[in-house]
Amino acid sequence: MKLSVIGCGYLGAVHAAAMASIGHEVVGIDVDAEKVRRLSAGEAPFFEPGLNEILAAGVESGRLTFSTDMADAAGSRVHFVAVGTPQRHDGAGADLTFVNAAVDALAPHLGAGELVVGKSTVPVGTAERLRPIVERTGARIAWNPEFLREGFAVADTLTPDRLVYGVTGGSDSEDVATLDEVYAPAIAAGTPRLVTDFATAELVKVSANAFLATKISFINAMAEIAEATGADVTMLADAIGHDARIGRRFLNAGVGFGGGCLPKDIRAFAARAEEIGRGESVQFLKHVDEINLRRRQRVVDLLVDSFGGSVVGRRVAVLGLAFKPDSDDTRDSPALDVAVRLHGLGADVVCTDPEAIDNARRQHPQLTYERDLDRALEGAEAVVLVTEWREYRDLDPVAVAGAVARPLLVDGRNCLDPVAWRAAGWTYIGLGRP
């Protein structure tokens, strides 16, 4: 099928390449000329495992092209809208400028029988609001929220755990048949597919993220209690996680969540709920956000305390900048935030990350970056681990102790073994652990 994907960022570029890899003819449209240039050369403009391979194969096959010209989307049967919906500069709500601009720019190129499919995460009511703009052209609109996880984006796009179609015509509608054709391999593999109205589809996405954020903040709240009582939050998580109703996943206490989705999505959800007169229903999300942000400061405070109240001039190696491992994404990254806070307190911070240095440097050029892990550790008076990349989890405490000036470690992800690190002479400080 001929498809277009409007917006080729973390979501759109993966979606375009994945759709080409299952046999569709795809054109990706983006306003960022440099991004389009790199994508056209079959090169991923950001780090995502497996993306380069399917991108290069798609471009090579001739089925995958990219353009800055919206006119190139003309003639596609389905147009996916995957542009960003960041937090507004002047408030907590979602900035819909990009979605509105994309749909407005696409409209003159739409034809009868074509389907515009929103994938961006939007406040409830957005699809209904855009509907007349699309339907005036003879095309139709559906909302098909995306649940991919950065770091697993290719696999999540090709083999999603569920598909949600928000449509106007119900299960038997032509729009459902069209989307089933787009996702034919996933449908054939028995992927659960839920057909809903617009509002439900939009809310599925934000409520899923609200739930995940709440689960993380719940365990981080328990970490705060553990810190005051001498309990161990990791043991607590293991113990409650054995209850199948609770489950162990997303129960790792640490520096908290970040990235281009969870933080802005819970804020946008709360803001939208206020607008529709139901602010009270999701008021708890404000606490979820606050608990999360408190953990960043907690990492900083633990370090400051271990230096007796001041980190001025202290050499600190910060391991990790991306908001999670296997990604170069530093949007609202707790790791980068911790580095910035320590720098602000006068510490001599050296930051490292396997993939995220370029993005971090663009956001915070004032920080010192070092690509080489060994050099970043050299002479450090403290090590702060804030993104749990495999190479950090696999560090040998004995070897690292030999490189640093002082064996002091704050494990902001509770991902190292305190027994092994202490045995190697380290002062190990975890979050919510004695």
Catalytic positions? 261
- Give the Cα-Cα-Cα angle 347, 349, 355 (nearest 5 degrees): 155
Residues 256-315 that bind ligand NAD (CB under 6 A): 260-261
Quick one: 87 or 352, whose CB is closer to ligand NAD?
87
- Of 26-34, 277-285, 332-340, 357-365, the segment contacting ligand NAD by CB under 6 A is 26-34
CA 171, distance to chain mean position in Å, is 31
Residues 118-147 that bind ligand NAD (CB under 6 A): 120-121, 146
Q: Does residue number 7 form part of the binding site for ligand NAD (CB under 6 A)?
A: yes
The position carrying tokens 């056209």 is 40
Q: Does residue number 55 form part of the binding site for ligand NAD (CB under 6 A)?
A: no
Q: How far apart are CA 76 and CA 110, in angstroms?
A: 8
**329 φ/ψ angles, rounded to the nearest 5 degrees:** -80, 120
Closest approach, Cβ 4 to ligand NAD, in A, equals: 10
Residues 147-176 that bind ligand NAD (CB under 6 A): 148, 150
Residues 231-260 that bind ligand NAD (CB under 6 A): 260
The position carrying tokens 């739409």 is 110
Both tokens of 147, joined, read: 């649940």
Nearest to 256 by CA among 287, 281, 226, 219: 219
Contact track, ligand NAD, 82-111, x by CB under 6 A: xxxx------------x--xx--x------
**Size of site (CB under 6 A) for ligand NAD:** 27
Q: How far apart are CA 64 and CA 73, in angstroms?
A: 12
Quick one: 236 or 360, whose CB is closer to ligand NAD?
360
Q: Does residue number 35 form part of the binding site for ligand NAD (CB under 6 A)?
A: yes
Closest approach, Cβ 24 to ligand NAD, in A, equals: 19
Q: Does residue number 407 form part of the binding site for ligand NAD (CB under 6 A)?
A: no
Closest approach, Cβ 359 to ligand NAD, in A, equals: 11
Separation of first and last alpha carbons in the chain: 57
Both tokens of 360, joined, read: 């971090």
Q: How far apart are CA 242 and CA 268, in angstroms?
A: 33
**91 exposure class (CB count in 10 Å sphere: 0-12, 13-18, 19+):** exposed
Quick one: 102 or 282, whose CB is closer to ligand NAD?
102
- Of 47-55, 76-84, 239-247, 276-284, the segment contacting ligand NAD by CB under 6 A is 76-84
- Of 31-39, 109-117, 176-184, 283-291, the segment contacting ligand NAD by CB under 6 A is 31-39
Collapsing DSSP to helix, strand or coil, 174 comes out as: helix
Residues 349-378 that bind ligand NAD (CB under 6 A): none
**108 exposure class (CB count in 10 Å sphere: 0-12, 13-18, 19+):** exposed
Sign of CA dihedral 61, 67, 71, 76: positive
CB 34 within 8 A of CB 8: no
| Of the candidate residues 3, 4, 5, 11, the single one contacting ligand NAD (CB under 6 A) | 11
Rg of the chain, C-alpha, whole Å = 23
Quick one: 106 or 395, whose CB is closer to ligand NAD?
106
Quick one: 67 or 214, whose CB is closer to ligand NAD?
67
Which residues in 128-207 belong to E strands, given as ranges? 140-143, 163-166, 193-196
Closest approach, Cβ 427 to ligand NAD, in A, equals: 36
DSSP letter for 326, please: T
Quick one: 83 or 338, whose CB is closer to ligand NAD?
83
Q: In the complex, which residue's CB is closest to ligand NAD?
A: 9
CB 15 within 8 A of CB 80: yes
Q: How far apart are CA 176 and CA 225, in angstroms?
A: 48
Quick one: 12 or 397, whose CB is closer to ligand NAD?
12
Q: Does residue number 38 form part of the binding site for ligand NAD (CB under 6 A)?
A: no
Q: Does residue number 30 form part of the binding site for ligand NAD (CB under 6 A)?
A: yes
Residues at the interface with ligand NAD (CB under 6 A): 6-12, 29-32, 35, 82-85, 98, 101-102, 105, 120-121, 146, 148, 150, 260-261
